[in-house]
Amino acid sequence: MSNYAQDTTPFRVFGLAPRVGRWGFILLGLLAMLSMGTVYSWSIFRRPLQELYGFQSRESLLPFTVLLVTYAVFMPVAGSRIKRYGPVRTMAFGGLLMAAGYMLSSRATSLLPLTLSYGLLGGAGVGIAYGVPMAVAAAWFPDKKGLAIGLTVVGFGLSPLVTAPLAASAIRHLGVPNTFLVLGAGFGLILLAVAFCMRMPPAGWWPGISKGAPPPAPQPAPSVGVLFRKPLFHVLCACYSIGTFAGLSAIGISGSVAQEMIRLTPETTALLVSIFAVFNGLGRPLFGWIADRYQPYRAATLAFALVFLASGLMRFAGEGSVVIYAVSFALLWLCLGGWLALAPTATLKLFDPAHYAGNYGWVFTSYGVGAFAGTMAAGSFRDLFGSYAALFPLNSVLSLIGMVLAFFFLRVRNPA
């Protein structure tokens, strides 16, 4: 007998029929992702931290870098533990860790404690909590998994639209330490509230049963595929690392470039970072659709071409070049968001879908590699050359390499 029980015992979700009420989990997941995605507003903190504690550019990027790497490590590890500990405990634990990381950052007066609190503790919290809304959405939408997950994670990319101006205003009125304290307490409460609402559907539930549609046959449990001997795996990882290198190096310095190179005010900078967040959010469904419709290698080639264009434009940027700056960074944020949909879609198409969860866990480590290299390169170039301008020729070269790898080698083969 199928693992999907033909149980039509009525139950309700948020007081509504399950086919309608399940959309509440999408809204809750979106709220949680908006809270966790505040990490993408780090560029708003960097200049005030440099002025307050005398950090150099590379030093002020270190907490952000450690957070991204820690998040990349904990996300696949925690994702495999959700079934064991349940969505409520997993997300509550992650939310408390993130809140503690932010709040302890308010007490940090030097680089090491700030990196340990914000980067290590906060990054672990984000990595642990991040997978819960995705897992819950996928469980309640077995008939629309891609749509449900896409609508949930878009909140992470859109977060700076809300949190960048919020953080800028709080820093201006409260100072950096108190801003960490307030954001940590606020986001911690939001994540705890969302966590206690997270529920998996009853065993065997399928939304089509009530309409007489049979559920699908149960799929084999996913396991880690044997990937490391497959050249295609290494090509995908290289492309993902290059894409995240370009995108995350841009996100980390968006505010600093606006104020140091373009000479914009903090208020205008925060507004533009909020607009960039919209592009980051739009990149996810856009490039996911392109990868589905036209194959991942074409979507990846397009993403690298846009990075090449954006990086080339920034070579002409200077004081007052608002349009060049806005267009270039909007494209860079768009392409980073695109890779967070493109990479999982490519993993599904290029390798055995039955092993997707394990396979993507390994592919996702490339995000951490790109995050570490990109953010460290951005700060190092600023310290060595006195300007962030030196970073963009490097991004141009890397995007050309990415275009060659994607177009000629990232092709769909028989899943294996």
Q: What is the DSSP string of 176-239?
A: HHHHHHHHHHHHHHHHHHHHTT--PPPTT--TTGGGTPPPPPPPPPP-----TT-HHHHHHHHH
Distance CA 278, CA 285 (A): 12
Mean pLDDT of 21-43: 87
**Same CATH topology for 18-203 and 231-409?**
yes
- Say if residue 209's pLDDT is above 60: no
H or E, element range at 49: helix 42-53
Q: Which long-range contacts (CB under 8 A, 24 or more apart) does 312-319 make?
A: 312/392, 312/396, 314/389, 314/392, 315/389, 315/392, 315/393, 317/261, 317/262, 317/389, 318/261, 318/262, 319/261, 319/262, 319/263
Determine the average pLDDT of the residues in 358-373: 81
Calculate mean pLDDT across residues 118-146: 83
pLDDT on residue 116: 94
The amino acid that residue 163 corresponds to is T
Sequential DSSP letters for 318-361: -TT-HHHHHHHHHHHHHHHHHHHHHHHHHHHHHS-GGGHHHHHH
Q: Which residue has the tokens 């909590």?
A: 129
pLDDT interval class at 221 (50, 70, 90): very low
Residue 357: the pLDDT is 57
Task: Tell which CATH architecture fits domain 231-409.
Answer: Up-down Bundle (1.20)
Could you tell me the CA-to-CA distances from 23 to 26, 35, 145, 149 in Å, in that order?
Answer: 5, 19, 12, 12
pLDDT exceeds 50 at position 408: yes
Q: Which amino acid is at 140?
A: W
> Is it true that domain 18-203 has CATH number 3.40.1260.10?
no
pLDDT at residue 227, as a whole number = 66
* Confidence grade of residue 223 (pLDDT, cut at 50, 70, 90): very low
- CA dist 119 and 136 (Å) reads 26
Q: Which of 60-64, 141-145, 261-265 has the lowest mean pLDDT?
A: 141-145
Per cent of the chain over pLDDT 70 is 86
pLDDT band at 84 (very low <50, low <70, confident <90, very high): confident
Q: What are phi and psi of 356, to 5 degrees?
A: -60, -45
CA distances from 260 to 119, 129, 392 (A): 25, 35, 15
Mean pLDDT (whole number) for 138-153: 73
pLDDT at residue 224 is higher than 50? no
**Residue 31 to residue 201: CA distance in whole angstroms:** 20
pLDDT in tens, 159-205: 888 888 888 889 989 999 999 999 999 999 999 999 999 988 887 77
- Give whole-number Cα distances, 121 to 96, 100, 167, 219, 264, in Å: 10, 7, 20, 36, 33
Q: What is the DSSP letter of 388?
A: G
- Provide the pLDDT for residue 96: 95
What does the pLDDT read at residue 304? 97
Are 100 and 151 spatial neighbours (Cβ–Cβ below 8 Å)? no
Q: So where are the chain's domains?
A: 18-203, 231-409
Tokens of 291: 């990868």
Q: What residues have CB less than 8 Å from 284, skipping those under 6 apart?
A: 150, 153, 154, 157, 337, 338, 340, 341
Q: What pLDDT does residue 414 have?
A: 45
Beta bridge partners of residue 13, listed in sequence order: 16
- Residue-wise pLDDT for 43-63, tens only, equals 788 888 888 888 887 788 889
Instruction: Work out the end-to-end distance of the chain between its first and last CA atoms, rounded to an integer number of angstroms.
Output: 29
Q: What is the pTM of this model?
A: 0.74
Lowest mean pLDDT among 125-129, 152-156, 332-336, 354-358: 354-358
**Considering the chain, what is the average pLDDT of its residues?**
83
Q: What is the pLDDT of residue 314?
A: 93
